Amino acid sequence: MPARLHYAPSKGWMNDPNGLVHWQGRHHLFYQYNPDGTEFANQHWGHASSPDLLTWTEHEVALFPGPAHTSPYDATACFSGCAVEHDGGVSILYTGVLGDAQLPCLARAADDGLSGFVKDPANPLVPAPPAADITEFRDHSVWRDGGLWRQLVAGARREHGGSVFALSSADLRAWDYDGVFVDRAGSKVPGAVWECPDYFAAEGPGGMDGTGALLISVIHEDGEEGPAVWWMTGTTSGGPSGARFQVRETGVVDVGDRFYAPQSYWAPDGRRIQFGWLRTHEDPAGLDGPAVGVMSLPRELSVRHGRLHCEPAAELTRLRLTATPVPATGTADLDGGRTAGELVLHATAADGVRCVVLRSPAGAEMTVDLAAFAGLDGPLRLFWDAGIVEVFRGGLAGTWSDLRITEVAELLLDGGPTAADGRAEVWELARPDRLTGPAAGHRTDGSEARHMD
């Protein structure tokens, strides 16, 4: 059964979110996409947009590999990248792939609907990885810093492992290499290879004092396991001579096992909105159906007391319909089954409940361990959606899946004596519309789109 709250394309393979931007009144979500199959191959950029982060319209493919005779540098695939507002429009920087070569490329939106992109004749912008010891070089985070554009590219160095590299430019086309921005040794963040860098100024889009947050996704050394997405906060020292990130604190972005390759962007109201890819292909039931891969719920990021803080986007509360009080320990019956919903454990219950078991009408069970959230501030919010679970409390998030649990008939709250004195409730959630329609000339009211089957 398709997810109701989470975005997924109607068919094909989806992975990393790309080119996130709010433009002309709409949130634009691009993503790694194989339109011709349900496996990782043939990477295009898919595209969806929303006026409110809830109702999504799936659009036509926005960026295609090749063709080889005019764009040989990305004839194999168009890998991940980011979007920037530039000269009254939107430009994207992405990794063009030709065989084993992966190099930065630039393209410009063809219209205000961002329905497609015109590739720059200067591509690839960097003809080769800019240092001899760089073994991996891909994915991009770009921002404006005074009179310069700053770009981060993730990857790895021989004998050094995961690294992020800094570049600078006056015009988005000609880039100077400014050296290693941060690496495994300087941050104590693990990883043989780092991917999908996402940097933002901690105090907002106009912040200039160098304080920032950097998120990276990790490919571990062979035989090693651990969290897949990490954050770092610190200060950036920059200028004409280059840039270096001085790490102050680090931590894990998501304590579950599905969240990967997140990207974030500024909303018009100053919030930093994040999406991540949920790796449902790793779920035992995740390869059934016409589409593979799901996007996370929208999240809000901030830096508080030097640490990354994550919470559900405020818009998600608009989906709430009615609340039903449930016991903070024991079993809550959900009237035959709900595809999606929200469980809220208020502070006392949140500290006392050790785990939540989601049970399907057929008796399949999924256990969500809440140990990582014990002792944090505020209520715990658990969203479930056709076998996908996202948990939030006190600035921490966790994501899991068991796609056998297409509906939840019962919730079993396993807690100690203190939990019994707490409050808990289950919210029935509205089902947001999922639409299809062209991106060019997209009207704010969505009247040109049609409902997905």
Q: How far is 324 from 120, CA to CA, in rounded Å?
A: 55
Is residue 16 part of the annotated active site? The answer reads yes
Q: How far is 100 from 90, CA to CA, in rounded Å?
A: 28
Structure tokens at 432: 């947001």
> Which residues have a Cβ under 8 Å from the Cβ of 192 and sit 6 or more positions away?
156, 161, 162, 219, 220, 221, 222
Q: How far is 343 from 336, CA to CA, in rounded Å?
A: 17
Catalytic option among 16, 183, 385, 402 = 16
DSSP for 320-387 reads EEEEEEE-SSEEEEEEEEESEEEEEE-HHHHHHEEEEEEE-TTS-EEEEE-GGGTT-SS-EEEEEETT
Structure tokens at 80: 């991940």
Segment holding 263, helix H or strand E: strand 259-266
Is residue 51 within 8 Å of residue 26, measured between CB atoms? yes
Bridge partners, residue 294, by sequence: 278
Structure tokens at 30: 């691009």
Nearest to 163 by CA among 126, 218, 125: 218
> CB-based burial of residue 362 (10 Å sphere; 0-12 exposed, 13-18 middle, 19+ buried)?
exposed
Spacing of C-alpha 369 from chain mean position: 22
Q: Please give the positions annotated as active site.
A: 16
